[in-house]
Amino acid sequence: MGRVDKKDGTSVTIEIGLDPSDPIFMIPELSPHVDRSRNAKTLSEFLGPEDLDPVIAHIPDTQEGGGVGDQVLAFLAAEYGISKADLVSAELSLVPAGAPRDMGFDRGLIAAYGQDDRLAGYATLRAIAAVERPQTTTVAYFVDNEEVGNRNNTGAGSDYFADLLSRLLYTELGSDYREPLFRQALRATKFISIDVNPGVNPMNPGAWELGNAPKLSYGVNLKLYGQGNTANSEFMAWTRALLDDNQVPWQTATYKVGSAGGGTIGGEFSSQNIEVIDFGVPLLSIHTPYAVSSKIDVHSLYKAARAFYAYRD
Determine the pLDDT at residue 150.
67
Rounded CA separation 103/113 (Å)? 13
Rounded CA separation 308/83 (Å)? 46
Determine the pLDDT at residue 307.
96
pLDDT higher at 62 or 28? 28
- Identity of residue 157: G
Determine the pLDDT at residue 42.
82
All residues at 6 or more sequence positions from 296 whose CB lies less than 8 Å from its CB, including other chains: 108, 217, 219, 249
- pLDDT averaged over every residue in the chain: 89
Determine the pLDDT at residue 285.
94
| 35-44, 69-78, 218-227, range with greatest mean pLDDT | 69-78
Q: Is the pLDDT of residue 260 over 80?
A: no
Q: Is the pLDDT of residue 46 over 90?
A: no
The percent of residues above 70 in pLDDT, for the chain, comes to 95
Q: Is the pLDDT of residue 15 over 70?
A: yes
> pLDDT for 92-114, tens place per residue?
999 988 889 999 999 999 999 99
> pLDDT for 118-175, tens place per residue?
999 999 999 999 999 898 999 999 988 776 676 777 788 888 889 999 999 999 999 9
How many helical (H) and strand (E) elements, i.e. helices and strands, does the chain have?
Answer: 8, 12
What is the pLDDT averaged over residues 265-292?
A: 89
Rounded CA separation 152/203 (Å)? 38
> pLDDT for 199-219, tens place per residue?
999 998 888 888 888 999 999
Q: Which domains does the chain have, with CATH numbers?
A: 2-92 (2.30.250.10), 101-309 (3.40.630.10)
Rounded CA separation 30/32 (Å)? 6
Is the separation of the CB atoms in 85 and 92 below 8 Å? no
- Identity of residue 135: Q
Determine the pLDDT at residue 216.
97
Q: Is the pLDDT of residue 254 over 80?
A: yes
Rounded CA separation 299/144 (Å)? 23
| 118-122, 134-138, 275-279, 302-306, range with greatest mean pLDDT | 302-306
What residues form DSSP beta bridges with 222?
Answer: 252, 279
State the number of CA atoms in the 13 A half-sphere of 190 facing the CB. 18
CA–CA–CA angle 289, 290, 293 (5° rounding): 145
Q: Is the peptide bond between 117 and the residue preceding it cis, with omega within 30 degrees of 0? A: yes
> Is beta strand 220-223 parallel, antiparallel or unpaired with respect to 275-280?
antiparallel
Is the separation of the CB atoms in 127 and 302 below 8 Å? yes
With 0.85 as the threshold, say if the pTM is over it.
Answer: yes
pLDDT higher at 48 or 162? 162
Determine the pLDDT at residue 20.
87
